[in-house]
């Protein structure tokens, strides 16, 4: 089985340890990690409960993504643009996220968008930044914070529904 994991709560020790154990227990060639960057700092605070500074989050992300990379995992990019794309400067948001990855010597090749919300501009800006959109249709997908319920019935149904889209 192939897995697509959206890494959004990397700062949480419990989530991080569960993610490492998952990667160690699976063929990392079949595990695709899509990781947020400090570009989505406000979202990480509001949605995931992070309460440190953006600089602290950046340091945690870089260290922990390096640790996952050392296990053989490819670190790819996950960006939340928002619900109303007409209100977002996608060039700035995607460019900033890619710059952070490059500055920390990660080499993302693919990108996914939060809540699967993107448009033609998102794809164009991604392409300009050397990224291709990852289609997870035939992957079992879950978020890092869902580690304890990734095989729950609702998660399985959600994934089956996603494969049919």
pLDDT band at 48 (very low <50, low <70, confident <90, very high): very high
Residue 5 tokens read as 């994991």
Instruction: State how many domains the chain has.
Output: 1
Long-range own/partner contacts, residues 118-123 (CB < 8 A, 24 or more apart): 118/81, 118/85, 119/85, 121/85, 121/90, 122/81, 122/85, 122/90, 122/94
For 21, the domain range is 3-164
pLDDT digits (tens, 9 = 90+) for 74-106: 999 999 999 999 999 999 999 999 999 999 999
What's the CATH number where 158 sits?
A: 3.20.20.370
Tell me how crowded residue 36 is: count the other CB atoms within 10 A of its CB. 26
The DSSP H or E segment spanning 141 is strand 140-143
**DSSP code of residue 130:** T
pLDDT digits (tens, 9 = 90+) for 121-151: 999 999 999 999 998 888 999 999 999 988 8
> How much is the pTM?
0.94
Tell me how crowded residue 53 is: count the other CB atoms within 10 A of its CB. 11
How much is the pLDDT for 160?
Answer: 84
* pLDDT at 162 exceeding the cut of 90: no
């Amino acid at each position: 089985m192939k897995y697509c994991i959206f890494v959004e709560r990397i700062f949480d020790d419990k989530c991080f340890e569960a993610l490492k154990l998952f990667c160690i227990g699976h063929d990392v060639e079949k595990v695709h990690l899509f990781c947020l960057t400090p570009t989505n700092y406000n979202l990480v605070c509001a949605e995931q409960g992070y309460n440190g500074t953006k600089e602290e989050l950046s340091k945690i992300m870089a260290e922990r993504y390096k640790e996952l990379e050392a296990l053989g995992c490819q670190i790819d990019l996950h960006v939340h643009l928002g619900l109303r794309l007409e209100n977002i400067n996608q060039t700035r948001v995607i460019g900033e996220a890619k710059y952070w990855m490059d500055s920390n010597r990660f080499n993302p090749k693919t990108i996914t968008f939060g809540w699967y919300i993107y448009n033609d501009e998102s794809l164009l800006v991604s392409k300009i930044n050397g990224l291709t959109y990852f289609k997870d249709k035939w992957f079992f997908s879950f978020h890092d914070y869902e580690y304890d319920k990734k095989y729950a019935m609702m998660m399985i149904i959600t994934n089956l529904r996603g494969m049919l889209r």
